[in-house]
Amino acid sequence: MLNSPSYMHVPDGMLSPLTSLIMFLLVLPFWYKGARGLSKRVNARNVPLIALMAAFSFIVMMFNVPLPGGTSGHAVAGALVAIILGPGVATIAISIALVIQAIFFGDGGILQIGANCFNMAVVLPYVAYGIYSLISANSSVTSVRRVIGAALGGWVGLTVAALVTAVEFGLQPLLWHAADGTPLYAPYPLNVAIPAMVIPHLLVASVIEGLVGAAVVLYLQRANPAILQLFTKQTVATGTVAPGRLRLLWIGLLALIVATPLGLLAPGTAWGEWSADELSRMGLGIVPQGMSTMQGLWGAPLADYGIPALGNTSLGYVLSAVAGVGLIVVVSWLLSRLLAGMTRSQKPAVPALQESEQK
Amino acid sequence: MSENLTASSPSAGSMQAGLPAPVAGRRRNGVIERTLAELSHAMEHSLFSEDIARKPGLLQSLDPRVKLLSMLALLIAVGLSRSLLVIAGLYVITLVLAWRSAIPVGFFIKRVWLFLPFFTGVIALPALFLTPGPALLQLPLDLVVTRTGLMTALFLLLRVSTSVSMAALLTFTTPWIDVLKALGVLRMPEAVILIFGMTYRYIYLLLNTANDMFLSRKSRVVGRTTGADQRRMMGASAGVLLGKSMRLSSEVYLAMQSRGFRGHARMPGTASFSIRARDWVAVIVVAIVTVGAIWLGQ
């Protein structure tokens, strides 16, 4: 759509047919899981519910949301739908919306339905929901943690989805080119595709995704809190996150940790994370004076993410990732305790309204 | 987002739906107008394509199942072909088919190419300079267009535009209910097709609802709103729409139940479809073109 900064709908011709097929096979288990979860939880109601949620996702993708600074854009709304319906059902609803966009509105390729569904209907909702439920675990419906969770979930979720899309793009020139080296599909290698996709998302599109999620959760907390509890009743009732969901999150995190050495495959250094001598090697004649004087001030415990005693770079990377994740988990736990204390004193939980269930 | 056939010029879209034309440029309160314009484009698009689908024409006279499978075969041919000439040939075929199927050709070309820059163009243009290869053209500012870069950009643009055109041919010449029924050929379960059909129908209902919501909001707003106000408003609108959708889904479920719905759907069958001689001709021609394109394109 016109002024969207989100380059998420992959058109036909961007990925090779074999990639499209693999992406399609990757989505299948998630479709199966989503459909199974549906028949277990909502029974025959699922037909109109899914139809309306898919239609809702479709419409919300057209909403124009302004950002501070004058730009505006669209949300994919995958994070929002995941927060309301849970990630499994969200996968089905968003996939249906994406298929209708591809077939009837020419938005996204038909052969790329698998890739687009994987990026926007699997990666985005699962990541967003994982972060949302981690931050908002044990919180009351009106807790500010739910708003923060929705915002962060949308922001990180869409950024990770953009990263996955960039990897799909970046693998194309490696795998498919003509005899003379002409790339046949998306032309840029990983070290160009990843920053080109991730940075704009980080700054614009993902911000919109987070804003939309947070704004809608904020509204629902005031006007219709029952919707926020529709599919996460057990979370609210027992006061704990369902262990299955949390386990899924940990598995995902573990996969990411194991995948960290992949970063070594990309040539060059992380964008914006240059050291002073890297800057001068890149041709920058003058290194900001502050940088050269401040550089030695802060010694990282695991400089360059390597553990010298191990001598193995990949292993060092993985261990650094484990240490980093552990640190983040501890900090988030402390933060959530703090926030829980704050919100508990404010308001009691709104009793779950059964209104929309009965109608 | 990518190439979008729904997005025509903003004013054309909103005039069709009887709405005031949105103000161009980045006005502070332009968000409602832009959203309104997009909602009405989507409505206009479907009305327009249903209109063409009911005219007499070459593709309109073919069985929807044949058209669906042919489109998939040709899309794969476009994807697999490694020759620019072959892909260009396939693009010319889509133009001829559009012409023989009562689709205004100028409009057809414009729809595809006007919106190509928003996704593919952004990717293809830098490839001209960034792909290493023999120099072809020296531009000012030390920019060098490489031969490999030009080929890469052409591959992208042609492949994407040909694919988009092929998908558009199917939807322009087939009523949406027939496209849905044809999906049954792909062994899609009936319940899924039913959900697709209902989704498509409710998209238009919710399009109207959202349109009304924004129009009424617009008519009540005097003066300028801040960005924060607009974000709150968009969040509230999405929340209201979500509540309405949920309530409606419960009501629809009760209505379906009271009419005897027990979880099994019977779609209006494909009985009205019939494979005639011309469909067989189409199948043979498409098979030859597909195999030929893949073989010639190696």
Compare all CA atoms of chain B with the CA of A196 and give the residue at the minimum distance.
B123
Contact residues, A window 2-61, toward B, CB-based 8 Å cutoff: 2-4, 6-14, 16-17, 20, 43-45, 47-56, 58-61
Give the residue from A12, A14, A110 with the most B CB atoms within 10 Å of its CB, the best one to mutate. A12
Compare all CA atoms of chain A with the CA of B115 and give the residue at the minimum distance.
A2
pLDDT, residue A234, reads: 42
Do A119 and A257 belong together in one domain?
Answer: no
Domain finish residue from A239, A267, A293: A239
Task: Note every long-range contact of A101-105, with CB atoms under 8 Å and residues 24 or more positions apart, other chains counting.
Answer: A101/A9, A101/A58, A101/A61, A102/B167, A103/B167, A103/B170, A103/B171, A103/B179, A104/B46, A104/B49, A104/B171, A104/B176, A104/B179, A104/B200, A105/B4, A105/B5, A105/B6, A105/B42, A105/B45
Burial class (CB in 10 A: 0-12, 13-18, 19+), B215: middle
B14: pLDDT strictly greater than 50? no
B130: pLDDT strictly greater than 50? yes
Whether A67 has its CB under 8 Å from any CB of chain B: the answer is: yes
Whether A113 has its CB under 8 Å from any CB of chain B: the answer is: no
Cβ of A56 within 8 Å of Cβ of B256? The answer is no
This prediction has a pTM of: 0.73
Shortest CA gap B277–chain A (Å): 27
Contacts of B152 in chain A (CB under 8 A): 182-183, 187
Do A83 and A135 belong together in one domain?
Answer: yes
Residue % of chain A over a pLDDT of 70: 61
Tell me which of B141 and B77 has the higher pLDDT: B77
**Mean pLDDT of the region B15-24:** 40
Residue ranges of the domains in chain B? 54-174+270-298, 177-218+233-267
Burial class (CB in 10 A: 0-12, 13-18, 19+), B121: middle
pLDDT, residue B73, reads: 92
Q: How far is CA B212 from the centre of its chain?
A: 24
CA angle, A56 as apex, A51 and A58 as ends, to 5°? 95
pLDDT, residue B6, reads: 38
Shortest CA gap A266–chain B (Å): 17
Return d(Cα B123, Cα A197) in angstroms, integer.
Answer: 11
Do A231 and A129 belong together in one domain?
Answer: yes
B66: pLDDT strictly greater than 80? yes
Do A186 and A316 belong together in one domain?
Answer: no
A210 falls within a domain: yes
Tell me which of B214 and B15 has the higher pLDDT: B214
Q: Of A64, A90, A72, A216, nearest to A157 (Cα)? A: A90
B284: pLDDT strictly greater than 50? yes
Contacts of A110 in chain B (CB under 8 A): 71-72, 75, 163, 167
Mean pLDDT of chain B: 79
A125 falls within a domain: yes
pLDDT, residue A288, reads: 56
**Encoding tokens for residue B193?**
């097709």
Cβ of A51 within 8 Å of Cβ of B122? The answer is no
Q: Of A106, A99, A100, A178, nearest to B161 (Cα)? A: A106
Return d(Cα A113, Cα A100) in angstroms, integer.
Answer: 10
pLDDT, residue A325, reads: 66
Do A180 and A277 belong together in one domain?
Answer: no
pLDDT, residue A3, reads: 36
Do A317 and A196 belong together in one domain?
Answer: no
* Per-residue pLDDT band at B113 (split at 50, 70, 90): confident
pLDDT, residue B155, reads: 86
pLDDT in tens, A127-143: 999 999 999 887 888 88
Do A93 and A74 belong together in one domain?
Answer: yes
Cβ of A62 within 8 Å of Cβ of B5? The answer is no
Return d(Cα A147, Cα B236) in angstroms, integer.
Answer: 14
pLDDT, residue B32, reads: 79
Cβ of B245 within 8 Å of Cβ of A77? The answer is no
Cβ of A9 within 8 Å of Cβ of B1? The answer is yes
B13: pLDDT strictly greater than 50? no
Give the residue from B8, B76, B203 with the most A CB atoms within 10 Å of its CB, the best one to mutate. B203
pLDDT, residue B3, reads: 38
Domain finish residue from A185, A214, A239: A239
Contacts of A55 in chain B (CB under 8 A): 199, 202-203, 205-206, 245
Number of domains in chain A: 2
A263 falls within a domain: yes
* Per-residue pLDDT band at B41 (split at 50, 70, 90): confident
Whether A97 has its CB under 8 Å from any CB of chain B: the answer is: yes
Do A25 and A71 belong together in one domain?
Answer: yes
* Per-residue pLDDT band at B102 (split at 50, 70, 90): confident
Q: Of A93, A145, A142, A143, nearest to A120 (Cα)? A: A93
Which neighbouring-strand residues pair with B143? B139
Give the residue from B190, B199, B204 with the most A CB atoms within 10 Å of its CB, the best one to mutate. B199
Maximum average pLDDT range among A177-191, A198-212, A312-326, B256-270: A198-212
Whether A220 has its CB under 8 Å from any CB of chain B: the answer is: yes
pLDDT, residue A287, reads: 53
Shortest CA gap A218–chain B (Å): 8
Compare all CA atoms of chain B with the CA of A169 and give the residue at the minimum distance.
B123
Return d(Cα A61, Cα A115) in angstroms, integer.
Answer: 18
Do A268 and A226 belong together in one domain?
Answer: no
Whether A74 has its CB under 8 Å from any CB of chain B: the answer is: yes
Which range, of A178-182, B196-200, B244-248, averages the lowest pLDDT? A178-182
A289 falls within a domain: no
Contacts of B72 in chain A (CB under 8 A): 110-111
pLDDT in tens, A166-184: 899 888 888 877 777 778 8
Do A227 and A261 belong together in one domain?
Answer: no
Tell me which of A246 and A121 has the higher pLDDT: A121
Cβ of A74 within 8 Å of Cβ of B78? The answer is no
Shortest CA gap A357–chain B (Å): 7
Return d(Cα B170, Cα B71) in angstroms, integer.
Answer: 7
Tell me which of B286 and B46 has the higher pLDDT: B286
Cβ of B237 within 8 Å of Cβ of A63? The answer is yes
User: Which positions ≥6 away from A290 have C-beta within 8 Å?
Assistant: none
Q: CA-CA distances (angstroms) from residue B16 to A220, A258, A285, B58, B211?
A: 34, 54, 58, 28, 13
Cβ of A55 within 8 Å of Cβ of B205? The answer is yes
Cβ of A12 within 8 Å of Cβ of B131? The answer is no
Q: Which of B131, B234, B251 sits opposite A65 (nearest CB)?
A: B234
pLDDT in tens, A260-311: 656 555 545 555 555 556 556 655 555 555 555 555 555 555 555 555 555 5
Do A158 and A200 belong together in one domain?
Answer: yes
* Per-residue pLDDT band at A357 (split at 50, 70, 90): very low
Tell me which of A91 and B275 has the higher pLDDT: A91
Q: What range defines the domain where residue A268 resides?
A: 242-284+301-349
Q: Of A128, A131, A122, A153, nearest to A32 (Cα)? A: A122
CATH code, domain carrying A80: 1.10.1760.20
**Mean pLDDT of the region B170-181:** 86
Burial class (CB in 10 A: 0-12, 13-18, 19+), A255: exposed
Return d(Cα B258, Cα B255) in angstroms, integer.
Answer: 5
Compare all CA atoms of chain A with the CA of B229 and give the residue at the minimum distance.
A66
Whether A257 has its CB under 8 Å from any CB of chain B: the answer is: no
Do A188 and A277 belong together in one domain?
Answer: no
Residue with tokens 């124009």: A64
Cβ of B38 within 8 Å of Cβ of A103? The answer is no
Per-residue HEC secondary structure of chain A comes to CCCCCCCCCCCCCCCCHHHHHHHHHHHHHHHHHHHHHHHHHCHHHHHHHHHHHHHHHHHHCCCEEECCCCCEEECCCHHHHHHHHCHHHHHHHHHHHHHHHHHHHCCCCCCCHHHHHHHHHHHHHHHHHHHHHHHHCCCCCCCHHHHHHHHHHHHHHHHHHHHHHHHHHHHHHHHCECCCCCECCCCCCHHHHHHHHHHHHHHHHHHHHHHHHHHHHHHHHHHCHHHHCCCCHHHHHHCCCCHHHHHHHHHHHHHHHHHHHHHHHCCCCCCCCCCHHHHHHCCCCCCCHHHHHHHHHCCCCCHHHCCCCCCCHHHHHHHHHHHHHHHHHHHHHHHHHHHHHHHHCCCCCCCCCCHHHHC
A-B C-beta contacts closer than 8 Å: 295
Whether A226 has its CB under 8 Å from any CB of chain B: the answer is: no
Say if residues A233 and A85 touch (Cβ distance below 8 Å).
no
Domain finish residue from A186, A218, A239: A239
pLDDT, residue B84, reads: 87
pLDDT in tens, A39-79: 665 566 677 888 888 898 888 888 878 777 667 777 888 88
**Encoding tokens for residue B178?**
């027939």
**Mean pLDDT of the region B34-56:** 80
Contacts of A104 in chain B (CB under 8 A): 46, 49, 171, 176, 179, 200
